[in-house]
Structure 1
Amino acid sequence: MRSTATTGTGKAVVATLISLMLTTAAIADEAPIKLGVLTDMSSLYADNGGQGSVVAAQMAVDDFKGRVLGRPVQIIAGDHQNKADVGSVIARRWIENEGVEVILDVPNSAVALAVQGITRDKKKLFLATGAATSRLTGDECSLSGIHWTYDTFALSQGTTKAIARLGARTWFFLSADYSLGAQLEADSRRVIGATGGKVVGAVKHPINTPDFSSFLLQAQSSKADVIALADAGGDFINAVKQAGEFGITRGQKLAGLIVFIADIHSLGLQSAQGLMLSSAFYWDMNDDTRAWSKRFIEKTRKVPTMIHAGTYGAVMHYLKAAEAAGTLDGPAVAAKMREMPVNDFMTKNGRIREDGRLIRDMYLFRVKSPQESKHKFDYYELLATIPGEEAFRPMEDGGCPLLKKP
């Protein structure tokens, strides 16, 4: 027969274990849901994404009241340094050791392709709000990957077609020597061929190069009507500045195939005036864009880019979808995101296709002259709205493996 003391001790142990289990469960229930902004914090894309993307993501969380499925939402950030190996290490650590559910932004196509592969294998969500390569919804598509803001196909469709319609016949490409430049040039070449134009030459330059002189002189000697810049951020800015110094713009047109308003701000209207560009967003389009942008500017003292606006929209849509799905499972939430229409200050009645591409309108702009600009950040004149179905590549042309039927 057991003693009363022994029985009492056993009950006490059981009670303690139950209490610990309940406490552990309560702590787990309150553990934050982590969203990781993987971006360029210190180099050529820092103004286009960078800390501004972190701010935009936090704004979405705050507007959603900071919680989803009863748990707090936490934004964390990492600097991929424009290196695929660095970005991959951060992405794996976040997912495997730190419980990150979503990775977003990634304004570098090579890094984005690496992250897409990791998140696809780990069944975590990747919201590519900063990357450009159309391969993310082509041969590298993913059930848990959504390409949000823009891509190389849409940018080439808008800018290249518009310039071709103005009579440009011959083109020379100056392209960044990595995934972005290669895909942007390839997508643009198809548009040029379809419009009866001809590419008379091309040269690749290293990413983040300070000296474009030899590349620009090759472009100048080609006598092409248009020198197409298939690069971005600091590379684009340096190329435009140095083209002006060489006097190239007096005889040939420069076409920026991926241009951000932060680039125009850095260049100044005197240098950038007349440039035509495609964008998914402009802060001064309507009352909704102005209201959100005013909040962003108050927090950052910088004009928001399309990456910043897209990051806000993607985070907000994710939070709504996770709440509606009742789970954090990556493929399940991604499916719910595809099911739900996208509506915010930037996107009206957008839809996410099976290949992960968000279909929304794109816009063609002309950069104003200093005389035309009436107030701070008054940089663009809207030339045309390009409907989403026209702007983005038809799904069946992308080669996404998800579309293969058994």
Structure 2
Amino acid sequence: MLTVNEQARLAREAATELATATRAAKDNALRAMADALLSRTPEILEANAADVAAAREGGLTDAIIDRLTLTDGRVAGMADALRQMAALPDPVGEVVRGSTLPNGLELRQIRVPFGVVGIVYEGRPNVTVDAAGICLKSGNAALLRGSSSAAKSNAALTAVLRDAIAGAGLPADAVQLLDATTRDSVKELMRARGLVDVLIPRGGASLIKAVVEESTVPVIETGVGNCHVYVDAAADLDKALAVTLNSKTQRLSTCNTAESLLVHADVADAFLPRMLAAFADAGVTVHGDDRVRSYSDAVVPATDEDFGTEYLSADISAAVVDSLPAAVQHIRRYGSQHTEAIITESVGAAREFTARVDAAAVMVNASTRFTDGGEFGFGAEIGISTQKLHARGPMGLPELTSTKYVVTGEGHVRS
């Protein structure tokens, strides 16, 4: 098996070729990758079944197993995402801005690929396909380091993708899978400065923290999702019920799932009994403060830790707040700057909330589950950035590029 540095050098060679590949060549490769996923679905599912069985034997949580599991439908969805990506504009070569300077120099800032992108992720085989596709479309080579729990699934997927890429006339080393059986591969990837241009961690808080703090390679931080829904005093309570339930239960194991509910005291009597009953019907355990607990004996006492937890399970924290500023203060204390939502019919309240809340995405009368590259029309995303430099929010194709200036003169010299 090659070392990480050896794989990174192969990736750099592939990235050099990808940087000048035409849109047609890249799109043909993406469509070939999609076709290959569908034609080779049985071998992918066979490998995935082995991973899922091992995960169950190992006692992994239902949320982790849900993220790990592939089905015919999920593989078809990954293939559809690749086709949709092929239909998107190519960001490489796009002119971000340009002008002619007073001295006659022509100045253009254009998008260029990063080069080699490393992705470290946990338990989600679909990330293998999404990352490979979005990196290829944006002209980058991808070094993928998934978790040991998905090792067989990721190996099968990568083999399918590499064969399709090579068959389409592009270098197979544009997509490579690193060894997941040892932590040394992650450490080597984090230290491959000069060979790897940027590193993107996708996973839980401990993974992201380790990569951000220990990497010498520049990191784009994709954060955890302790997302809140705040039901304002001016909320339409039917709308609030539907949005809150969808935000929490549409899929439990995603970073844009709501993990905390805040309810204005003025509507608590009218709203919370209905909401708690709906949660009970959906099998959701509510961890509430004393005011929430007064509405139902089924509510579990909430600790300070509960309010800061990304559950990724059928659990949610809940509190009653006396004002919109109190809700914002709670979110600032416990939130992860991912996605926050307000349910209100007051334009003023919506404006105040969106202005005061510091998050990558702020929803007004809409589910937190919409914070997603596909839902935003970006195609498959590489992750949701919660940092403020370079990229923030769902990272689509443009966010997988840097820029360079092209300056054209006619023999200009500086005086």
Q: Normalized against structure 1, the TM-score is what?
A: 0.30
